[in-house]
Structure 1
Amino acid sequence: MIMAKKKSTETAENAVVNQENKEPKKKQEDILLEMIQRYRISHTKNGFFIHIPKTNGKLEAYNLNDNRLKIKLKSMFKDEVGEFPPDAVVQNCLQYTESHAMELPLEEVKYRIASRDKSVIYDLQNGKCVVVNEKGWRIVDNAYPMFLKGADEIEQVTPIHGSGKKGLDRIDRYLNLSPEEKFLLKVYLVTCFNPDITFPSVSINGTNGSGKSTLSRIIKKIIDPSSNELETLPDTIDDLRVRLNQDYYLAFDNLSSISKKQSDFLCAAITGVTSSNRMKYTDNTINSVYIKRGMCLNGISPFVQKADLAERVLFFTAKLIKDTSRISDMTFWKDFSADLPYILGGIFDLYSKAMKILPTVKLQKLQRLADFHLFGYAVAEAMKTGLGKKFNEVLEDNKTRQMEITCQNAMIISLVEDFLKNEEDEGYWKGTMSLLYKSLKDFMSQQNMTEEIYNPRTYPKEANHLSRALHQYEAAFASKGIHFQSKKNSKGNMEIEITTDWLKDDIGTIKRVPIITSKT
């Protein structure tokens, strides 16, 4: 018994000595933090990112709150340590990393296309990028740290030098559009590679079998290819916000309508907006991202109904494809893939030429999204001297179509126009907003006595709502020659004066007719 006790004591003492000589085991948190600290962390307007190299050497940026990063870190930990870390360990390490990243300087990050030192950088997503400037373009190793990779962005084809306008013209046989719209779309495609301007989005309408979705795919493949070429428009603003914060250019398919909230958010995203929302499971933590995106939208019926969105969109109509002209999808996309390197090379050739021409462009009248108008003119001139004039004409025609679509979708416009034409003093009206509200409502009721010409459910509920509608469609009214002016009368009451172009005489002055007075 004594010998056994002595042996037990010696074993315990040896264990203490061995324990003292053995290095303490590292905690999982320490191991994971060391792994994270091997990679560059960036602080951007859109959050905090860690840049981890892929097998091909290209860096991929992960948001610190991205679930894909958690999966990636778990896999890396398993490969290095031999076991998976608990979720809590991963979360704690990422929160610790983010707390230190807050002290880093703010960096600019981009998807697919960026501007740097008077050049445009286009990320091919294969470790290479295209650098375009006034001197031309070249393909170099992508050593630019500002690029983020969208979750579904994929590698672009390698463009071919010297393609020029002929290279871009290879797209013509794939476009089921009128000659004027083909020309406008080609200019538009080149402008989409300029991240420094606000360029419009695209609306494609057409009947079943007109190739709307195919045209949308073509645009997406050229500008910003991804595994999700076409997708549905998210229903909620939060989901739309998340989706728009992923790629440089998106294509939404088969739209039937766009809600007012969706329309307002798309307007803001086209011109650029900082969007904020409260982070989940917090009381006052705000998550803000800057979104500026181009989009292609398609559908059978006209789905752009709001004037603000219509002014930020180019409209295209896909023609019905005859059965005798149809080819298989396999053949179509095989041919397009063969032409794409030339199309892309042509875009870069024309872009470089347009950069030289742009400083010389002087236009007296600029459309909405003026930078797009100026650069589009330069692109057209790069195609051939004198085509800038054609671009102006085609863009003006498209603008007229914008107004027509707005007018078709706004009952209030046709109601006011018909009301003015049926007044005793045709084409002129003056009175208070309350009187105008009542007069239009009475006129609508009279016209609807036999059949419903106007939808009373879309008529503004109150006079101040009518005032907002007149202001909203001011540009559309002007396109029909109807103009509004508000001013106080002799009694200090605010009145609205409506004049029309069809009242102008030969010398261009407005013929004044007797004023309709009111006691409102």
Structure 2
Amino acid sequence: MAEKNVFAEFLEQFTPSVVKQDESRTPYLVEHTGELKQAILLASDKGELMLRKFAKRVELRLVGKDVKEAFEEVKAIAWEHEQPLIKPQIRYGMAPSSDAVTIDLSNGEIVQLSAQGVDVLDSIPASNEELYFQRPSFQLPMVTPKLPCIDTKSALAKLRNFINTDTNTFFLLVAYMTYLMAHPKAKGVPYPILMIQGEKGAGKSFFCNNVLRGLLDPSAVSAMAFPKQSDFVLTINGMSLVVIDNLRSLTKRQSDLLCTVATKGTMTKRTLYKTAEVTMFELHSPLVLNGIHDFVKESDLASRCLRVNLEPMKKGNRRPEQELKADLEASMPEIFGALLTLASQALAILPDVEVIHEARMMDYAKWIGALERVWKLPEGKLQKVYEKNVESLMASGMVDDSLTIALTSMVKKLGGKAWKGKPSQLLSKLQEHEDSQYLPKGAAALSAKIKGQESSLNANGIYFKFGRAAERYIMVSDKPLI
């Protein structure tokens, strides 16, 4: 080891402005990159590189065990500093004392987005001095937006060329993209889960990996398979936008987990090397699910989703992917500038917006209402489209389910009348319309499934009323029951 006085000089550099801890007491080194303050995880390759840089300043060479000793000493210093804990953010950030969103372009510039407008800056304002960013190794630079954007309509027309869906869904998608830009994780608002569906040749992967990622969160990591639960929390907290590809089905546990991520929750895990402590991990992130099949079956998850159906390209209209990428790249600054401008305009009028059609994701529904005003659309028009979008997803998720098939057949034979009886009698009745091996195994299981999937069954035109007279009963009808 080098002389003790040199090592002590090395450690003196780790002042409270350089060494920080986050809310889980994980140590970070802060690097001032010019445009922002970057929080680098001490226990990472970047962290080790930073240690070596500090050592080089005092002509100290860290080799072998020296690196581990330096790491432990700096970690101890982080604990000794009495200072506020930080919350490093990825790509989109918001300081506690500010209402402006700061976007890390990772190209030497940042964007400040607020109700007052959009600005491209080369350094973070002093008012955001509490804001720290992380830059994962796979994070790529964003384009510098073309501002001011005078004609958002023309820019959106260019974006439309890369998304083969119907007009109403396109507007909901633009609402989703601007919502994400204006609502970083620090705001704590729920995120609708974007569900991309389409047949082979519909351009799902191009849309997810180039259009969506290119405009919201460029990354060297393309869409991924559903991670194991042990890795899920790391994936969620290590990226700004998570894209899960080629889904065929979701388990009940996976559906519940996705619901938690959309509306924000936590996961606990025993703290390493501790027997009586737990570490809390936040589960909250924008999510994109991509696949051909109807993989959303649970009504609770469907209520949190926005489905975008992509149509296959017509024969003769297909173009090489490299050609599409070149066109997209050329249009990207103008499209990005338009989305930022729309987000700023929506933020300016958002406080005065009233939700006409209530939804599970009320914050997103209100955002749609703000864009209705920006686009001068009839109040509630797009909100109604969103409501129908969710209802359609709920219906399609259960349409092939054996219980739905049996109930549909049953109510059709009722001729508009309501059926009333005990749960066990309903199960017997359903067995007349569907093989019992595909139905719930008992009356309690039947009641539980109906209650759990009631919204989806309602979307398929099947309605229920549970009650108790002398005995428990269920009413079933093809019309809402009061």
Residue 255 of structure 1 contacts residue 298 of structure 1 at CA under 8 Å; is this kept in 2?
A: yes
Residue 357 of structure 2 contacts residue 383 of structure 2 at CA under 8 Å; is this kept in 1?
A: no
Task: Report what 2:399 is aligned to.
Answer: 408
Structure 1 stretch 303-312 or stretch 337-346: which is displaced more?
303-312
Report the alpha carbon displacement of residue 55 of structure 1 after superposing the two structures with TM. Answer: 6.7
Residue 224 of structure 2 contacts residue 243 of structure 2 at CA under 8 Å; is this kept in 1?
A: yes
1:142-161 residue pairs with structure 2 within 5 A? 142-143=124-125, 144=128, 145-161=131-147
Sequence identity, in percent?
Answer: 23
Report the alpha carbon displacement of residue 162 of structure 1 after superposing the two structures with TM. Answer: 2.7
- For residue 275 of structure 1, give the secondary structure of its aligned residue in structure 2: strand
Task: Please tell me whether residue 99 in structure 1 is matched to residue 88 in structure 2.
Answer: no
Q: Deviations over 1:86-107 (max 9, x none)?
A: 1541452254235335x53333
The one-letter amino acid of 2:168's match is E
Task: Please tell me whether residue 115 in structure 1 is matched to residue 108 in structure 2.
Answer: no
Cα distance change, pair 468–503 in 1 and its aligned pair in 2 (3 A) = closer
Task: Report what 2:426 is aligned to.
Answer: 436
Unaligned stretches of 5+ in structure 1?
1-23, 449-453, 505-509, 511-520
1:185-204 residue pairs with structure 2 within 5 A? 185-195=173-183, 196=187, 197-204=189-196
Structure 1 stretch 58-67 or stretch 304-313: which is displaced more?
58-67
Task: Report what 1:82 is aligned to.
Answer: 61
Report the alpha carbon displacement of residue 159 of structure 1 after superposing the two structures with TM. Answer: 0.6
Q: CA RMSD in A?
A: 2.9
The one-letter amino acid of 1:96's match is A
1:374 to 363, 366, 371: 366
Task: Report what 1:222 is aligned to.
Answer: 215
TM-score by length of 1: 0.81
Aligned equivalents of 2:62, 2:116: Cα separation in 1: 54
Aligned equivalents of 2:49, 2:271: Cα separation in 1: 21
Residue 395 of structure 2 contacts residue 457 of structure 2 at CA under 8 Å; is this kept in 1?
A: no
Task: Report what 1:12 is aligned to.
Answer: none
Cα distance change, pair 466–255 in 1 and its aligned pair in 2 (3 A) = same
Report the alpha carbon displacement of residue 214 of structure 1 after superposing the two structures with TM. Answer: 0.6
1:260-409 residue pairs with structure 2 within 5 A? 260-382=252-374, 384-386=375-377, 388-408=379-399
Q: Deviations over 1:147-173 (max 9, x none)?
A: 222342222111111323322332011
1:424-503 residue pairs with structure 2 within 5 A? 426-431=417-422, 433-440=423-430, 442-443=431-432, 447-448=434-435, 456-457=437-438, 459-490=439-470, 493=471, 495-502=472-479
Task: Please tell me whether residue 232 in structure 1 is matched to residue 225 in structure 2.
Answer: yes
Cα distance change, pair 334–56 in 1 and its aligned pair in 2 (3 A) = farther
TM-score by length of 2: 0.87
Task: Report what 2:26 is aligned to.
Answer: 48
Aligned length: 465
Task: Please tell me whether residue 178 in structure 1 is matched to residue 171 in structure 2.
Answer: no
Task: Report what 1:130 is aligned to.
Answer: 111
Residue 294 of structure 2 contacts residue 397 of structure 2 at CA under 8 Å; is this kept in 1?
A: no
Task: Please tell me whether residue 251 in structure 1 is matched to residue 231 in structure 2.
Answer: no
Aligned equivalents of 2:281, 2:7: Cα separation in 1: 30
Unaligned stretches of 5+ in structure 2?
none
- For residue 136 of structure 2, give the secondary structure of its aligned residue in structure 1: coil
Aligned equivalents of 2:17, 2:63: Cα separation in 1: 20
Aligned equivalents of 1:466, 1:29: Cα separation in 2: 70
Cα distance change, pair 88–106 in 1 and its aligned pair in 2 (3 A) = closer
Aligned equivalents of 1:307, 1:60: Cα separation in 2: 40
Aligned equivalents of 1:129, 1:105: Cα separation in 2: 24
- For residue 478 of structure 1, give the secondary structure of its aligned residue in structure 2: helix
Residue 169 of structure 1 contacts residue 343 of structure 1 at CA under 8 Å; is this kept in 2?
A: no
